[in-house]
Amino acid sequence: MRLPPLHVLAVAASAFLFFVPMVAEAQDINVEASVNATEVGDQEALTLTVTISGSDGTGVRTPDPPETEGLALTQRNPGTRRNVSIVNGRVTQSFGFTWMLRPIAEGKARILPMTVRVGSQTFQTDPIDVTVVPQSQRPARRSPVQDPFSPFQQPAPDPEPPPAPSDRDIFIQVVPATASVWQHEQVVVDYQLFFREGIQLRQSRLTDSWDANGFWREELEVDTRPVPRTVVRNGLRYNVITLKRAAVFPSRSGTLTIDPLRIESEAMLPFGRRDPFQSLFSMRSRFTPIELASPEVTITAEPLPGGAPERFSGAVGSFRMDAGLNRSRVQTGDGITLRVTIEGEGNLATLEAPRVDLPASIEVLGPTSTVRLDRTGERVSGSKIFEWVLIPRARGSYTIPSIDFSWFNPATARYETHASGALAITAEGDPTGTAAPRALLNGLPVGDVAPPLLQTERWHRTGSTAPLHERRLTWILLVGPLLIWGGTRVALERRRRLTADSALVRRRLAHPVSRKHLQRAEGLLDSDDIASFYEELDRALTGFIGNRLNVSETGLTRGQLAEILGRHGIPEPDTARILSFLEVCDRGRFAPAGHTDADREEALSDASTLIILLDERWSS
């Protein structure tokens, strides 16, 4: 084998070195500008942050200070931060540059677009509008933290109540794929929860059944443990997760409305606290109950255009059809399966079976249908299978005419038809399972009526000659039903008493149910599913309390739980231990990062100890 000349290798090496920087710079870089609030008091400071994400760190330059209207910089050199993350084996870095600004006067203020350079690329941020209001219209700021070593300071005021989030801090946005569709066309509706960075949520649940009158709907799968993505909207940075995704199909034309999605939750606002120690120890009391509702969704459904094919039955979407027989040659009287499969995207669940024209000598059973839907993607797709059983009643060759399936394609606004082609069947042999014709006598088939007896026979006694009341079988048949009836009455009465005394039933279930959850948690101890581990511990303890006290543990707030434990004789120190343990479980479920194996072993031991403690208290 001949080696290439040296000058060829030199040219190749030069080309490689030339293209390496270009490849390094071809990254998905994102530059965003955000503020901590879009409404500030005239005595407050505003924080502006420029975030550069997706870069490997090369070529990142400190941006020039922003130009503003109605705001003044407190310093020209920004504060900086740097985060490094590894996603799918790729190391990415994010850089943050922060400036503090103060309002000049009340009214409207504006941060003008900023130019940011990363390597050879240039980015420009969006402008941000800010409203400056009198400080009296803003929430009162917290007094400074009292110095414990100063005897001359006034006593610290009572802790301020937890702040309630505004509609700028957290809200639900509904995003329909389109607002105008054809009748029966698929529309995907996304419900997304936007919440400011740092807000913590817990115990979120739907408050009522979400409904969509006038639509056929199919639920799409969403991640039950979503990882929030970060977006900037109107100059504010939000975390976003998808609460619900549904595909709806308008069943009639006109203007239709989808009800709001309503949820209840508890939220904690981290900003506004100056004292980190007080924030840490008052975390439980800072959760505020909230109710959120999305706006209504209005969708206009246009009626389908005229000129539909004769065999159109309302299918709207993108489809393909396949038809076939499981066999083409059969014995007369045996069955053949005709299968028609329709695949694609659209209203598969409401599709009607195509019409099948059959010869008169073929008996037909069906059709039966099976729907297989794929709900894991961005749209509902799948297949619907129709099956008929065909039974030829006479031998010969038969032809099933072509099966036509028509649908309306919204992408082209046209009707489309697919034809399967003719199908042939051959029936052989004599019919099976049917009797051959027989001769008739006086209008009846010969052999269907038994002939008269022409001679008498002598009858003989068989079996035992003992009287009926002395036979064992007689007493068994008489007494047995009475015993069965009596035992059944006793069992039903016992079950009725248990059903009426639900508290007794729940007390008996308390230990088995809690033991089951503890065993599940022990099985998850060595796994990476930290959230499920702490969820099993939470259910073990709260389920034991609910079953022993015959109360519903679902939806209990921590304050309600403390009140119930106090009424049933649990001292305050033990109640505090239980609530503290449940807080650990909440942090493990919703923020699993940072929990070591030793922490989880300790939590499992604490759960068993608390259950034994409660059992001893209530048993005594």
The verdict on residue 442 lying in a domain is no
The verdict on residue 180 lying in a domain is yes
The verdict on residue 457 lying in a domain is no
**Which residue from 244, 241, 187, 195 is spatially nearest to 216, judged by alpha carbons?**
187
Instruction: Specify the pairing of strand 297-302 against strand 180-182.
Output: parallel
Phi, psi of 473 (to 5 degrees): -60, -35
User: Measured between alpha carbons, how far is residue 44 from residues 69, 100, 127, 272, 499 in Å?
Assistant: 16, 10, 20, 12, 63
User: Do 294 and 186 sit in the same domain of this protein?
Assistant: yes
Q: Which of 393, 428, 463 is the last residue of a domain?
A: 428
Contact 10, 19 (CB under 8 A): no
pLDDT, position 88: 56
User: Do 218 and 108 sit in the same domain of this protein?
Assistant: no
Q: Which of 373, 398, 428 is the last residue of a domain?
A: 428
User: Do 328 and 267 sit in the same domain of this protein?
Assistant: no
Question: Any bridge partners for residue 414, and if so which?
Answer: 409
pLDDT, position 161: 55
Contact 301, 253 (CB under 8 A): yes
Q: What's the CATH code of the domain at 386? A: 2.60.40.740
Q: What's the CATH code of the domain at 530? A: 1.20.120
Q: Max CA-CA distance within the chain?
A: 132
> C-alpha angle with apex 189: 186 to 191, nearest 5 degrees?
165
The verdict on residue 489 lying in a domain is no
**Which residue from 410, 386, 414 is spatially nearest to 184, judged by alpha carbons?**
410
pLDDT, position 423: 93
Instruction: Specify the pairing of strand 288-293 against strand 215-220.
Output: unpaired
Question: Any bridge partners for residue 249, and if so which?
Answer: 216
The verdict on residue 403 lying in a domain is yes
Structural domain count of the chain: 4
Per-residue pLDDT reduced to its tens digit, 121-176: 888 888 999 899 888 777 655 444 444 444 444 444 445 555 667 888 899 999 88
Among all chains, which residue has been given the structure tokens 């009198």?
Answer: 134
Question: Any bridge partners for residue 86, and if so which?
Answer: 91
- Residue-wise DSSP of 411-433: TTTEEEEEE---EEEEEESS-SS
User: Do 184 and 291 sit in the same domain of this protein?
Assistant: yes
Q: Provide the total of helices (H) and of strands (E) in the chain, helices listed first.
A: 8, 33
- 3-state SS track over 350-400: HCCCCCCCCCCCEEEEEEEEEEEEECCCCCCEEEEEEEEEEEECCCEEEEE
**Token reading at 364:** 């037909």
User: Do 211 and 295 sit in the same domain of this protein?
Assistant: yes
pLDDT, position 85: 67
User: Do 268 and 386 sit in the same domain of this protein?
Assistant: no
User: Do 70 and 123 sit in the same domain of this protein?
Assistant: yes
Cα separation, 129 vs 112, in Å, equals 9
Which segments of the chain have a pLDDT < 70? 1-27, 57, 85-91, 139-164, 208-209, 270-286, 431-466, 498-502, 554-556
**Token reading at 415:** 């009707």
> C-alpha angle with apex 19: 15 to 24, nearest 5 degrees?
155
Which residues in 292-318 are b (16+ Cβ under 10 Å) and which e? bebeebebebeebeeeeeeebebbbbb
> C-alpha angle with apex 110: 104 to 114, nearest 5 degrees?
120
Contact 419, 309 (CB under 8 A): no
Neighbour count for residue 237 (Cβ, 10 Å): 18
The verdict on residue 151 lying in a domain is no
User: Do 287 and 331 sit in the same domain of this protein?
Assistant: no
User: Do 279 and 403 sit in the same domain of this protein?
Assistant: no
Cα separation, 333 vs 379, in Å, equals 44
pLDDT, position 435: 41
The verdict on residue 596 lying in a domain is yes
User: Do 370 and 289 sit in the same domain of this protein?
Assistant: no
Cβ-in-10-Å burial (0-12, 13-18, 19+) of 149 comes to exposed
Cα separation, 408 vs 316, in Å, equals 5
> C-alpha angle with apex 162: 159 to 166, nearest 5 degrees?
145
Cα separation, 329 vs 396, in Å, equals 10
Q: What's the CATH code of the domain at 262? A: 2.60.40
Cα separation, 245 vs 221, in Å, equals 7
Contact 166, 68 (CB under 8 A): no
| Predicted structure pTM score | 0.50
User: Do 248 and 355 sit in the same domain of this protein?
Assistant: no
Among all chains, which residue has been given the structure tokens 């797709």?
Answer: 381
User: Do 104 and 191 sit in the same domain of this protein?
Assistant: no
User: Percentage helix, strand, coil, to 5, in the chain?
Assistant: 25, 35, 40
Compute the residue count for the chain: 620
Cα separation, 462 vs 492, in Å, equals 44
The verdict on residue 378 lying in a domain is yes
DSSP symbol at 162? P
Q: Which of 380, 395, 428 is the last residue of a domain?
A: 428
Bond preceding residue 367 cis, omega within 30 of 0: yes
Cβ-in-10-Å burial (0-12, 13-18, 19+) of 26 comes to exposed
pLDDT, position 438: 41
Cα separation, 141 vs 97, in Å, equals 26
pLDDT, position 1: 44
- Residue-wise DSSP of 206-266: ESS----TTEEEEEEP--SSPPPEEEEETTEEEEEEEEEEEEEEESSSEEEEEPPPEEEEE
Structural domain range at position 418:
317-428
Cα separation, 305 vs 459, in Å, equals 85
Per-residue pLDDT reduced to its tens digit, 423-482: 999 999 876 544 444 434 444 444 444 555 555 566 566 655 667 777 788 888 888 888
